[in-house]
Amino acid sequence: MIEENYRKVEEKVRAAAVRSGRQPEDVTLIAVSKTKPLSDIEALIRIGVREFGENKPQELKEKYDSVSQPVHFHQIGHLQTNKVKYVIDRAVLIHSVDSVHLAEQIQKEAEKRGLTTEVLIEVNAAGEDTKFGVSIDETEPLVREIAKFPNIRIRGLMTIAPFVDDPEENRAVFRAMKQLLLDIKSQKIDNVDMSVLSMGMTNDYEVAIEEGATMVRVGTAIFGERNYDI
Ligand SMILES: *Cc1c(COP(=O)(O)O)cnc(C)c1O
């Protein structure tokens, strides 16, 4: 069931990549396993899936430490400074860096362990008050500040688009994110490569890919609805 769902999403990801004039391998599908049991992750590992996303640092830690073979876990949800220690040597990429304060803590923990931590800057592209992330205008200044940290490498940008009924409503948001990525890339800031654009979830990942996403984070379409009461 989960395996079939994954295959279907993977096929749509490929088709959208081709539609946007890219190679299917240029778009990474991250299976967002938050709240879901380890057995669901193991089912996907058996069919070769290697990229998983979690939004709670402690849950990422527990799953990372329990899986039967090494796979990549992405920290996609908001990260508090006191939780950096759980993900620093486990997350392959932290998608949700949105302040110098958080970057300072990542720097400290990464330096202590002799690591370079790869991060994305989270952008609140639609300016919703309920969302974490910096505004489009604040993004380049923040990138420039965080680029100074020697144990952090900025790989690109991430956004969580508004929850909408029709994914077409988010097309302009995704397009603005791609433009922002290109604008910052053209500045050639040291220690910043701007090759990753993480955007698109169950409801809108195809539109996000058409507009340039290189990573999509899909939960519900693969694992089914989440139950937060348990
Ligand atoms: C939960 C979550 C997703 C996946 O959402 P779905 O709509 O279930 O695909 C993607 N990104 C982030 C940051 C999330 O927290």
Q: Kindly give the distance from the C-alpha atom of residue 32 to the centroid of ligand 1, in angstroms, as a whole number.
A: 6
Q: Where are the alpha helices (DSSP H) in 82-135?
A: 84-87, 100-112
Residue 174, H or E segment: helix 171-185
Output the six-digit token pair for 154. Answer: 């900025």
What are φ and ψ of residue 223, in 5° steps?
Answer: -100, -5
Cα 169 to Cα 115, 134, 161, 204: the distances in Å are 40, 21, 10, 9
With a Cβ cut-off of 6 Å, ligand 1 is lined by 32, 34, 55, 76-77, 160, 201-202, 217-220
Only one residue has tokens 């992330």, namely 133
Global pTM reads 0.97
Spatial distance between the Cα atoms of 227 and 229, rounded to a whole number of angstroms? 6
Q: What pLDDT, on the 0 to 100 scale, is given for residue 229? A: 62
Q: Supply the residue whose CA is at minimum distance from atom 10 of ligand 1.
A: 217
Which pLDDT tens digits describe the chain residue by residue (230 residues)? 999 999 999 999 999 999 999 999 999 999 999 999 999 999 999 999 999 999 999 999 999 999 999 999 999 999 999 999 999 999 999 999 999 999 999 999 999 999 999 999 999 999 998 889 999 999 999 999 999 999 999 999 999 999 999 999 999 999 999 999 999 999 999 999 999 999 999 999 999 999 999 999 999 999 999 987 65
Atom of ligand 1 nearest to the CA of 76: 13
The pLDDT score that the predictor gives to residue 77 is: 96
